[in-house]
Structure 1
Amino acid sequence: MSHFTITKPSPSFWRASFSNPPVNVFSVQTILDLRELVDAAERDSDLTVLLFESANPEYFCAHWDLADDLSGLAGDPPTPTGQQAFVDVLIRLSKLPVITVSSIRGRARGAGSEFVLATDIRFASRERATIGQFEMTTGVAPGGGGVSRLPRLVGRARALEILAGADDFDADLAALYGYVNRSIPDAELDRFVTAFAQRVAGTDRGAIAELKSWVNATTLPEDEEFGPQSDAFFSRVAGPRVSGWISRAFEQGLQQPGDLEENLGARGFDV
């Protein structure tokens, strides 16, 4: 895998560290790597907890790579869920028969936010985590599942605030809304998350699978919800408003460390 480094503290506990410099954007290669990881997690009968973290303390996952598209997957066979590749791998991630945890340090926006929303549990660094769905600043609603997952976590009004306002949320406010489980002081984050993961790792895989199947039945969106959102997203991305925003944003430093990426929630409407 190019973008994930996997370590296994024990047979039942895996850590996946994401790295795609300079700002950890999600790309076609990330999809391919995540597919491989999900395949491995489905097959391994010992695994009970999978922890995601970032090798870059400033960027957990900045957003989708706006210089990339899904054309690199055009020759692939149909996905297992029938959805487009990004949505497909997130659906499969959400339904893994193991507990998935995101330890968020740095920025997680757009596709990065949708990725952590597809994991079961989210812990965020109080001082260093930023999370949000900035897509509406470009003129398009999110297309990777955030529109369906957020209302089930935070409620209708707060989901509309997050999605339509397209602003950044710090860890404390995200925890208050239910966007993340907890805001944890940065100095304590790694110890807390590791202890939680090790606790879950001691649980029987079959029991975890049963637990998740019952919780999933009442909390996960139906797969059919995602298709229209994804179709609308790609239709608008192909239009002049969104493509113009992307061109201007790259001129102003998009996908490079600096003011725009650091403050995308505040600056997005001004690009």
Structure 2
Amino acid sequence: MTGPALLHTTSDQVLTVTLNRPGSLNALTPGQREEVIGLLSEASATAEVRAVVITGAGRGFCAGADLRGAGTPGEPLAGDVARTLRTGAQRLITAVLDCEKPVIAAVNGTAAGLGAHLAFACDLVLAAESARFIEVFVRRGLVPDGGGAYLLPRLVGPQRAKELMFFGDALTATDAERLGLVNRVVRDAELEKTARAWAERLAAGPTRALALTKQLVNASLDTDRTTAFAAEAAAQEINMSTADAQEGVRSFVERRGAEFRGR
């Protein structure tokens, strides 16, 4: 491998994060994972970032956690495995779900195991025609991790989730779109351009309103109606104090396009 294992650039208020270990189909190392978590946390607190794109270099989006690079473990103590998941894969998925800026997955190839869950945790998923999604855990005799058993039933329902996880068959981009796991499938050559166009639209939007909308939608799947309605009212109260909301109302009254500044 040449160059850094993770690339990140910010332009036009879009942060692009590229997993850069193409020789291993971008299997995720602990160092890469921590860097992605840090970048997403910084994105939430940085006014200059208003949208995020996560993608991979080469033929793969992310082949999951890099088990080969982990070395030969000693005999684990009770609680070691659970602790590793809590502080590792689960923190990564949480970082995506909790990022206060919209996150787009541009899936350019194989997304397997944790790599698939990284994509499914994103707010929007674009897939190249060559993309494949694989719940690979069952092939290794493992239980799904990285939030898979939380994410998949909410996206496709419990029966479909069990089918994907029980058999571990590769899911084409077209089938993933049909099931609702992918927003749109595009030709391979158009993936980067489309992801960029979507991200720039989001970056030009009312940033705080998008953050609150993301929070409401994510929380709605785990709350009752009364709680969801109370959260909606609170979000509206918070958002109406933002400059973007005031600009949106003013532009409507003045019959012109709104110019949002992310504040």
Q: Structure 1 length normalisation: TM-score?
A: 0.72
Of the two, which has the highest radius of gyration?
2
Partner of 1:106 in structure 2? 109
Match of 1:179 among 175, 178, 181: 181
Following superposition, the deviation at residue 220 of structure 1 comes to 6.7
Q: Distance in 2 between matches of 1:62 and 1:197?
A: 24
- The answer to whether the 8 Å contact 1:48/1:208 transfers is no
Partner of 1:149 in structure 2? 151
Listed one character per residue, the Cα deviations across residues 228-250 of structure 1 (whole Å, up to 9, x for unaligned) are xxxxxxxxxxxxxxxxxxxxxxx
Following superposition, the deviation at residue 102 of structure 1 comes to 0.6
For 1:59, give the aligned amino acid.
G
Q: Distance in 1 between matches of 2:31 and 2:8?
A: 16
> Is 1:158 aligned with 2:160?
yes
Q: Distance in 1 between matches of 2:219 and 2:167?
A: 30
Q: Distance in 2 between matches of 1:171 and 1:21?
A: 20
Q: Secondary structure at the match of 1:103?
A: strand
For 1:62, give the aligned amino acid.
A
Match of 2:192 among 190, 193, 197: 190
The alignment-based identity, stated in percent, is 26
Q: Distance in 2 between matches of 1:215 and 1:37?
A: 23
Partner of 1:250 in structure 2? none
Partner of 1:61 in structure 2? 62
Change (3 A) 1:190 1:21: closer
Counting matched residue pairs gives: 208
- The answer to whether the 8 Å contact 1:149/1:220 transfers is no
For 2:5, give the aligned amino acid.
H
Match of 1:40 among 42, 46, 49: 42
Change (3 A) 1:35 1:189: closer
Q: Secondary structure at the match of 1:47?
A: coil
Match of 2:91 among 88, 111, 114: 88
Partner of 2:20 in structure 1? 19
Q: After TM superposition, list the pairs within 5 Å mapping 1:166-245 onto structure 2.
A: 166-219=168-221
Change (3 A) 1:218 1:69: farther
Following superposition, the deviation at residue 190 of structure 1 comes to 2.2
Q: Distance in 2 between matches of 1:2 and 1:87?
A: 24
Q: Which runs of 5+ in 1 are unaligned?
A: 72-81, 222-271
Following superposition, the deviation at residue 105 of structure 1 comes to 0.9
Partner of 1:232 in structure 2? none
Change (3 A) 1:198 1:89: same
Following superposition, the deviation at residue 103 of structure 1 comes to 0.5
Match of 1:130 among 112, 115, 132: 132
Following superposition, the deviation at residue 69 of structure 1 comes to 4.2
Following superposition, the deviation at residue 2 of structure 1 comes to 4.1
Change (3 A) 1:95 1:163: same
Q: Which runs of 5+ in 2 are unaligned?
A: 74-84, 224-263
Greater relative contact order structure (CA < 8 Å, 6+ sep) = 1
- The answer to whether the 8 Å contact 1:154/1:177 transfers is yes
Q: Structure 2 length normalisation: TM-score?
A: 0.74
Q: Secondary structure at the match of 1:6?
A: strand
Q: Distance in 2 between matches of 1:219 and 1:2?
A: 38
- The answer to whether the 8 Å contact 1:100/1:120 transfers is yes
Q: After TM superposition, list the pairs within 5 Å mapping 1:61-80 onto structure 2.
A: 61-69=62-70
Q: Distance in 2 between matches of 1:123 and 1:114?
A: 14
Q: Secondary structure at the match of 2:66?
A: coil
Q: Secondary structure at the match of 1:83?
A: helix
Q: Distance in 2 between matches of 1:7 and 1:46?
A: 12
